[in-house]
Structure 1
């Protein structure tokens, strides 16, 4: 009577299979990390390109895009007062200007909108952007690219500009729409690890100092201009360092220029 052959794997064969699986898994994870690192480097390059474009514009036109008197240079029409091309060096949205000029830092419109159309009209960036000089309410997600440039990082991130009354900033976040009062609806698309990587590559790696600062506080007109508060453990940072162990997207960043 013939003995049946054993068709199972030997321990050596199983070990080889496990090693191969481990190598493949490690390669996939390493590849994913390399791709993300490249995306983050690309985001830094984009911000630097915008900074260079702003500097070139300022030298050429003696003012900031959106803030210069448009009629003097053939740019989109603006009133030349307050938040519409008054050449005061601050990029403002016109929302609630009479009360607090920079209260509309989280709003779309005014010089913050003209900024991008002026840069494009000067051939310093690519794209076609709205020339609206007033506040811009009720913008839907599908329309956002007409007002703001998409971030190199992808993931529905855009770049917005605003001022805190002293300094101008680029803001990197997921700007999904605007309300009836032109205020942005924001999703925080960056993890703390991504925010830390961006900050470390281009600045000091700290969330509340330097040119790159975390602005992931609960979105409000009052807090958007300020770094994360101390002790905010559930946010992008605790006010001292990035909460790098928090894998949930809880971060937006601002870049001074």
Structure 2
């Protein structure tokens, strides 16, 4: 009689334990990657307002709104703002117009040694970007058309786009109140007016703006 051998219960148990350990390791690895992404995004929201106020403290004027940038900072051809020096950053948060204050802000910060990146406004790498490849920007709250007027009470806001909903909500939880439609941080459908998404869709990219 031919004898058929199979796995014993002990062998099956060992296989299941090993599979469970491998799955837990994969899930833990994904969690670590997600946390690293959120920490990188959070550093932008902490550092850029700090650069902004450091420039103001040093020169008594806002970066981008500085009509005397050529005398304040070192470098080749720093561009002075051609708009009203009114203590507000004018221009859309993601402006590509090299006369907008929100665009020139990056050149002024970089020439002052506060931020890194190209200082030549015509450089293809000039636009500031987050770790997800999305744009970074600063503007006055009045210029932020994506957020309903009156939502933010401070003068300026920083925005970062192309952030997946799962990361955006984790970011809001870390830095604000954990809801994308209240507080100083809002999770927005890019280009859509409103106060934000309370619970963003995990795999959908969003624009995240924080007032400061």
| TM-score of the superposed pair, with normalisation by structure 2 | 0.80
Q: Which residue of 1 aligns with 2:146?
A: none
- 1:57-81 deviation digits (Å, cap 9, x = unpaired): 0001111111111234247233x44
TM-superposed CA distance for 1:256, in Å, is 1.5
Partner of 1:107, secondary structure, is coil
What is the number of equivalent residue pairs in this alignment? Answer: 195
Q: Which residue of 2 aligns with 1:149?
A: 128
Q: Among residues 199, 203, 208, which one is paired with 1:248 in the alignment? A: 203
- 1:155-199 deviation digits (Å, cap 9, x = unpaired): 32231222232722211113xxxxxxxxxxxxxx412x3211101
TM-superposed CA distance for 1:25, in Å, is 0.5
Contact 2:42-2:171 at 8 Å conserved across structures? yes
Distance 1:105 1:116, change over 3 A: closer
Distance 1:41 1:105, change over 3 A: closer
Contact 1:105-1:164 at 8 Å conserved across structures? no
RMSD (CA atoms): 2.4
Contact 2:95-2:103 at 8 Å conserved across structures? no
Partner of 1:127, secondary structure, is coil
Distance 1:162 1:29, change over 3 A: same
Q: Which has the higher helix share?
A: 2
Q: Which residue of 2 aligns with 1:209?
A: 182
Q: Which residue of 1 aligns with 2:148?
A: none
| TM-score of the superposed pair, with normalisation by structure 1 | 0.67
Q: Distance in 1 between matches of 2:170 and 2:12?
A: 39
Q: Which residue of 2 aligns with 1:184?
A: none
Q: Distance in 2 between matches of 1:215 and 1:106?
A: 15
Q: Among residues 127, 135, 141, which one is paired with 1:158 in the alignment? A: 135
Contact 1:113-1:130 at 8 Å conserved across structures? no
Name stretches of at least 5 consecutive residues in structure 1 with no aligned partner: 94-103, 133-138, 175-188, 229-236
Partner of 1:160, secondary structure, is strand
1:199 aligns with 2:176: no
TM-superposed CA distance for 1:106, in Å, is 5.0
